[in-house]
Structure 1
Amino acid sequence: MNDENVYWDWRAMQRDGLYPSILAIGDSWFWYPFPGGSLITRLGRLVARKQHTVLVLGNNGAEAFDYVEGKYRKAVREALRLHGSALSAVFISGGGNDFAGFNDLRPLLNDDCAQATTAAACFRTGASSGTLDWLMDKMMASYRTLIGQIMASTPPGTHILLHNYDYARPSGRGVFGKKSAWLKPALDNARVPAALQQACINYLIDRFSAELQAMVAIDPARIWRVDSVGTLADKHWANELHPKSSGFRKIATTCWRPVLRRLGLA
């Protein structure tokens, strides 16, 4: 399966006699299967003029842990072994699924947030299992492992690009107009006031963004965070977690393209 220079299947790439110059390890923002494509299809078009070929690993629903210890561990390591020495860049989209589903988000929230007046007051605190601090530590441990594997398998000039999504909308909208099983159900179950629900999601994304920026400090010459928060309006969202085609295009051109150009990738 491929879309011009973007391949989601290694064998299809081989049949076309191609090898990847960019590896994209990601979740549904790289794998979104609906018309208009995902973020990676937009990024593929940006890097096409530099004759880059993109191989995508991961899948819808992937969590950060899956890339280093879970179901995609073998594929990631094999791709780095086979192609690492020739890669110009590795794009990473991961972490959103670690806190986006009902069973992921609900445990992070206090039992009853009805009296809360700030987003921070809705979240469990401390380092014990199930808190936001615990989750971020767990996610970033996976990021550090993945970044270490990439850096050990690629030349010093290979860039690693991370991104922080955008402020997802707790609208209750799921795929194809169905009710969501992601954000709003968890917030409603915790009795988060309606006026605070968007602030709670923003709080999560801001915390995630700060953690990614700490990953950049590992090697600022090689690791880049593409900051896309605050880019999309309500009209750009197809559902709670995924932009429409116009939204992916806006993030690609507004946020990713300047970074890709600076690195000589687009």
Structure 2
Amino acid sequence: MPLAPNVFWNAHDMFEQGVEPTILAIGDSWFWYPMPGGSLLNPLARMVADKGHVILAVGENGAEAYDYMFGKYKKRIEMLLDRYGKNLSAVFISGAGNDFAGFNDLRPLLNPDCRGASSAAACFRPDAEPESIGWLMNKIATSYRLLIGRIMVSTHPDIRIVTHTYDHAFPTGRGVFGKNSRWLLPALVDAGVPDPLRHACVKTLIDRFADALVPIVATDPVRIRRVDSRNILQEKDWSNELHPKGKGFRKLAKTAWKPVLEEIGLA
């Protein structure tokens, strides 16, 4: 499917067409995924096209939520908000998946030896410990709160901020271009997580992230929306451990995002 004509991946191309963004999409590979079928942003752009919206993407594959306000994307995000904020109708946010998807991110969250575990919860370090799921979710939530706060002070009172929960990925070991993944399965295998519990471990992480978004949305439920995109995709809908196929992204957009975007008048 060709890329939607109303989404831009850099400001230069947007300038060339003489348009300005009405939606800023701050995101990771779920917005930037370059494989056939495109990313989640492609079907979302088509949904908002009838309302005349233009999307400008900022971020890249591998972006972490921490980077949006503390790292490499901070200056660019602030510059774009200062330049376009007053004319934006919405900001989409996709972040946190890369904060725990990678051997060096996931492995520290797991216990040293999970071979005797009988549940996914038993595979993870207690929340009271450093580098636990609780510690990580607090770190992610801090990044989200700061980013959302920065968006709110740079935009008008009617802005809509939309984020999402991802879906429960399958630790199959599949990477990009047929290569072995370095994201989920290697860490689970190294920790000795029994095969029947591996998908449940990933589900635990996604569910904890979804829960971490709830109190953030509750601070301003009119302007902030959480798209709950869990329990939509089947294993056949995934291209690899982290990314759905094009049809998977389209399924997520239609099933989870579209009702929210329609409710807030973007689609």
Amino acid across the alignment from 2:227: V
Give distance in 2, aligned partners of 1:141 and 1:182.
24
Deviation at 1:69, TM superposition (A): 1.2
Amino acid across the alignment from 1:196: L
Which position in structure 2 is the counterpart of 1:178?
Answer: 179
Q: Matches of residues 207-222 of structure 1 in structure 2 within 5 Å?
A: 207-222=208-223
Q: Matches of residues 19-98 of structure 1 in structure 2 within 5 Å?
A: 19-98=20-99
Which position in structure 2 is the counterpart of 1:167?
Answer: 168
2:122 counterpart of 1:121: yes
Give distance in 2, aligned partners of 1:167 and 1:209.
11
Which position in structure 2 is the counterpart of 1:140?
Answer: 141
Where 2:57 maps in the other structure, the secondary structure is strand
Cα deviations across residues 225-249 of structure 1 (Å, max 9, x unaligned)?
Answer: 0000000011110000000000000
Give distance in 1, aligned partners of 2:56 and 2:128.
37
Give distance in 2, aligned partners of 1:97 and 1:13.
28
Where 1:35 maps in the other structure, the secondary structure is coil
Deviation at 1:128, TM superposition (A): 3.5
Give distance in 2, aligned partners of 1:71 and 1:129.
24
Deviation at 1:126, TM superposition (A): 3.2
Deviation at 1:213, TM superposition (A): 1.3
Amino acid across the alignment from 1:219: D
Deviation at 1:108, TM superposition (A): 0.2
Deviation at 1:3, TM superposition (A): 4.0
How does the TM-score come out when normalised to structure 2? 0.98
Deviation at 1:132, TM superposition (A): 1.1
Deviation at 1:130, TM superposition (A): 1.0
State the superposition RMSD in angstroms. Answer: 0.8
Aligned CA distance change for structure 1 residues 255 and 126 (closer, same or farther; 3 Å)? closer
Q: Which runs of 5+ in 1 are unaligned?
A: none
Amino acid across the alignment from 1:113: C
How does the TM-score come out when normalised to structure 1? 0.98
Amino acid across the alignment from 2:118: T
Where 1:228 maps in the other structure, the secondary structure is coil
Where 2:111 maps in the other structure, the secondary structure is coil
Where 1:50 maps in the other structure, the secondary structure is coil
Deviation at 1:127, TM superposition (A): 3.3
Which position in structure 2 is the counterpart of 1:258?
Answer: 259
Q: Which runs of 5+ in 2 are unaligned?
A: none
Cα deviations across residues 65-118 of structure 1 (Å, max 9, x unaligned)?
Answer: 111010000110001000000110000000000001111000000000001111
Give distance in 2, aligned partners of 1:92 and 1:132.
21
Give distance in 2, aligned partners of 1:11 and 1:215.
33
Aligned-residue sequence identity (percent) comes to 58
Kindly tell me the number of residue pairs found equivalent between the two proteins. 265
